[in-house]
Amino acid sequence: MPPHGSKSDKQDASLLHRRDPYEVLGVSRNSTDQEIKSAYRRMALKYHPDKNANDPKAADMFKEVTFSYTILSDPEKRRQYDAAGFEAVETESQELELDLSSLGAVNTMFAALFSKLGVPIKTTVSATVLEEALNGVVTVHPLPLGTPISKKVEKQCAHFYSVMISEEETQGGLVCRVQSPDKSKFKLLYFDREETGGLNLALQEESTKVGKVTSAGMYFLGFPVYRLDQTANSMTSAKDPDAAFFKKLDGFQPCEITELKAGTHVFAVYGDNFFKSVSYTIEAFSAASFAEEKKNLRTVEAQILTKRVEISKFETEYREVLAQFTEMTSRYTQEMQVIDELLKQRNEIHASYTTGPPIKRSRSRIRGSFKDAKEDGQIRERKSTRDRPKKKKWFNIHLKVEKRKSC
């Protein structure tokens, strides 16, 4: 009977059969984040289960494309893979993006439950929405600058808006922001227009809770503006509480597009709730009058980048000191046990210095004496009660009645 392979052997075999993520996505090792995202979306759309329901090869290809993207889209995991291959990447903690539109009702309920319990669940834009946009069959509504529009979008659906900007307005920069008053989850999307007339997803921002609303924004200000991906390393942080602090700024990455050219640009609001629709307000406006805010933003983001480097160095020092503290704590406990044992032996030696026989009082004798004393007390109590004269009660008094003599 052939021996069963160990779990590590099976993992090594699976690693050997994995293709290079760059090869899977068809990109080079020097590709930018934007090029990797574009390649992933193109291939994910091609092999999506909704379009290949009865094709197992397409399903396997979709899994491989998704797995490759989870490595290359994370800066830390990409660096680890470039340095040492798959062995350096924690495959157990890979976060897959779910297309909620392709899940059944039961799976959607489980996903919503896990999300409520705090389990990080990343979602992706529905393949149907991306395909319709790529084929140019979506309805695009005009969004005038400085004019907010409030609407409600259904779950896993999108509302498309076109924003027209002039050459002068491009120099001042453009801001597009979306808010949801009912704290719903949504995505703010930006599309590039293809030569065929279709729309290709280029950027997306997840909504985050800010006070009493959820919001998302895109800032095209002519200089690198950073975005914070709060889902990065979320599973790792859940395993290691300290990592939640040290990895907090790992998702702080520059936006791929820093400025827009004059012309028409397309944004979309995608409903990302599990069950209900999303109420939102979208607004696009020129940033020319926000010179002070631009300056402050650049200053703060530069400080965040500096702090990220400092935190990385501090983590190394913290881990070393923590290891020393753990070692010292363990030694403290051991030393306390040794001291207590030595003092106990010393007391026993002191007690052995005597010329008389050792006094040993067995527990059985002590218990017996207590028992005898208790029984004696009970017997005395019974005797004292028997010796006491009985008191006559009034209803037992004998009343002697003499007969009256006749007159």
Higher per-residue confidence, 376 vs 177:
177
- The answer to whether position 176 is within a domain reads yes
pLDDT confidence of 386, banded at 50, 70, 90?
A: low
Token code pair at residue 41: 């979306």
- The answer to whether position 359 is within a domain reads no
Higher per-residue confidence, 68 vs 356:
68
Q: 168 pLDDT exceeds 70?
A: yes
pLDDT at residue 334, as a whole number: 93
pLDDT at residue 238, as a whole number: 56
In a shared domain, residues 32 and 81:
yes
Strands 122-123 and 97-98: parallel
pLDDT confidence of 40, banded at 50, 70, 90?
A: confident
In a shared domain, residues 113 and 149:
no
In a shared domain, residues 89 and 203:
no
pLDDT at residue 93, as a whole number: 45
**Across-strand partners of 153?**
278
pLDDT at residue 360, as a whole number: 61
In a shared domain, residues 65 and 157:
no
Total number of domains in the chain:
2
DSSP state, residue 125: -
C-alpha 358/C-alpha 365 separation (Å) is 16
**Across-strand partners of 140?**
160
pLDDT 10s digits, 84-129: 777 766 544 445 555 555 545 545 454 455 455 454 556 778 888 8
In a shared domain, residues 113 and 90:
yes
Whether residue 204 contacts residue 303, with contact meaning beta carbons closer than 8 Å, is answered with no
- Nearest-5° angle of CA 223, CA 224, CA 230? 145
In a shared domain, residues 177 and 33:
no
- The answer to whether position 398 is within a domain reads no
pLDDT at residue 19, as a whole number: 85
C-alpha 89/C-alpha 76 separation (Å) is 9
- The answer to whether position 48 is within a domain reads yes
In a shared domain, residues 171 and 149:
yes
- Nearest-5° angle of CA 120, CA 71, CA 36? 110
pLDDT at residue 344, as a whole number: 93
Whether residue 133 contacts residue 198, with contact meaning beta carbons closer than 8 Å, is answered with yes
In a shared domain, residues 81 and 138:
no
In a shared domain, residues 65 and 40:
yes
- The answer to whether position 51 is within a domain reads yes
CATH number of 82's domain: 1.10.287.110
**Mean pLDDT score of the chain:** 78
| Mean pLDDT within 359-366 | 56
C-alpha 92/C-alpha 235 separation (Å) is 9
Q: 215 pLDDT exceeds 90?
A: yes
pLDDT at residue 74, as a whole number: 75
- The answer to whether position 390 is within a domain reads no
- The answer to whether position 194 is within a domain reads yes
pLDDT at residue 158, as a whole number: 94
Q: Which residues contact 88 (CB under 8 A, 6 or more apart)?
A: 80, 81
| Mean pLDDT within 6-32 | 70
- The answer to whether position 236 is within a domain reads no
- Domain of residue 213 covers 127-223+258-288
Four-residue CA torsion sign, 296, 302, 305, 307: negative
Four-residue CA torsion sign, 137, 138, 139, 140: negative
C-alpha 407/C-alpha 397 separation (Å) is 30
